[in-house]
Structure 1
Amino acid sequence: MMTHDVIVAGERLTLHVQRAIHWAARRTVLVSDVHFGKGAVFRRAGIAVPSGDTEDDLARLDDLIREFAPERLVVLGDLVHGAATERSDWVERVRAWRRSHPHLDVLLIAGNHDRHFDVRSLGIEVVPDRLDVAPFVLSHHPSPHAGAYTLAGHVHPGVVVRDGWRRHRLPAFVFDHDVGMLPAFGTLTGLFEIAAAPGRKIVAVTPAGLVPVGSQGHRR
């Protein structure tokens, strides 16, 4: 399945195989850890990685916008990966993408990597720490907040799924009692393995679709 609905803090959220969440009640799409420009940073350091990661990630954002027609796109931190200049190819490409969606509200909750570049120069609004949109706190770091459910990124959560003798490391959505984490959206991002735990819901992102693999315990 390409989408999977979960109830979190009394709200229905649609998880998408493109590593995004659609919150229909607020006409909002959430993604995290896009890391635009990471490939360029690697190549400047002499690490051979293929180009085209920015184009791929922008195309995936366009697919989500076409599918859900949101009013708002919220990035839960680390939209960019590192320092860049006006001559960086990805900078103008992201600016052009932003201009192509003039009626879409695009907002970044600043993450630790975003300090290296002025994201406002891309035409994107920036909130420095968190955004309170009841019943959620939207943030980069997955810290609990009293009286609200946190939706965050930063960790790049993943899970190990075994298929017979084969072992697959896959991005995953993770929902605990008071904090939920999105998988990293960016193409060139790693994984931090999250173990199953009582009451924890894990939904793995596989090439064939979304697969719930964790506990189906009670959600707030």
Structure 2
Amino acid sequence: MKTKIIKNHRQTFELHPSGAAYWHEFNMLLIADVHLGKVTHFRKHGSAVPQSAIQHNFDQLNTVLQHFQPEVLCFLGDLFHSYLNSEWIIFAEWANKIESKIILVSGNHDIISPIKYEELDIHVTDAWKLGSIYLTHEPKTEENFFNVSGHVHPGVRLRGTAKQSLSIPCFLKKPNQMILPSFGTFTGKHIVTPTENDQIFAIAHDEVIEII
């Protein structure tokens, strides 16, 4: 497993192949777009999504938490895909077992009442500023702040010499902004077109590789 360290505004972020980013100075793990409940939602409506995809999300959460052992786990929006379903029970049991403090920066899919999260000792907020770092769900631009967000589900398309291509998730870093890939198993990707000042950190199996 190979991570990638980036620095901005005198802060250190470690990019993990799961799509999470560990913020060293605040001992905080940042995760975007898990979309819990989406698998159950689509299975209910007849989509052939394997039941194992549900457990995979929690297995991946446990793996990255064990690796970094953060004091705070901050979800950057779209933690749950839509309304309550049976996956909430699994999530509640999981949340009660972990030691990290959980914060949810709410996203456009987070329509479950904050009261339900508060019952699990999970604080919900629209945005969070810590020093010069601005945590949001959708990408925001604000002077003198480095924004970390999700929402976009960034991916990059790699092309081979024989016209074959492969799309993989990536971290998209701009001069004052970083967009995390979606953490969830069943979430899809939006292929991004980087500009001259952008950096792309692609996730290839168990590595984070800078390709631009």
* Fold shared, TM-score > 0.5 on shorter chain: yes
Alignment equivalent of 2:104, drawn from 104, 108, 122 = 108
Residues 101-148 of structure 1 show CA distances to partners (whole Å, capped at 9, x for unaligned) of 1x3101100001011455516615233310001221000010112221
Counterpart AA for 1:209:
E
Query: How far apart in 2 are the matches of 1:75 and 1:57?
Result: 14
**Which contiguous aligned blocks of 4+ residues in structure 1 show a shift greater than 6 angstroms?**
none
Scaled by the length of structure 2, the TM-score of the pair is 0.93
- Indicate the SS of the match to 1:112: coil
Query: How far apart in 1 are the matches of 2:42 and 2:29?
Result: 29
Is the 2:106–2:124 Cα contact (8 Å) retained in structure 1?
A: yes
Is 2:145 the counterpart of 1:154? no
Report the equivalent of 1:93: 90
- Indicate the SS of the match to 2:54: helix
Query: How far apart in 1 are the matches of 2:133 and 2:80?
Result: 24
- Indicate the SS of the match to 2:152: coil
CA RMSD of aligned residues (A): 1.6
- Indicate the SS of the match to 1:111: coil
Query: How far apart in 2 are the matches of 1:155 and 1:169?
Result: 15
Is the 1:14–1:23 Cα contact (8 Å) retained in structure 2?
A: yes
Once the 2 structures are TM-superposed, how far is the Cα of residue 9 of structure 1 from its aligned partner?
A: 2.1
Query: How far apart in 2 are the matches of 1:43 and 1:182?
Result: 27
Report the equivalent of 1:217: none
Is the 2:32–2:182 Cα contact (8 Å) retained in structure 1?
A: yes
Moved more, 51-60 or 73-82: 51-60
Residues 50-89 of structure 1 show CA distances to partners (whole Å, capped at 9, x for unaligned) of 112231111111111111111000000000001124xx1x
Fraction of identical pairs, as percent: 28
Query: How far apart in 2 are the matches of 1:47 and 1:63?
Result: 28
Report the equivalent of 2:182: 184
Report the equivalent of 2:64: 64
Report the equivalent of 1:45: 45
In the alignment, structure 1 segments of 5+ residues that lack a partner are: 215-220
Is the 1:91–1:122 Cα contact (8 Å) retained in structure 2?
A: no
Is the 1:72–1:107 Cα contact (8 Å) retained in structure 2?
A: yes
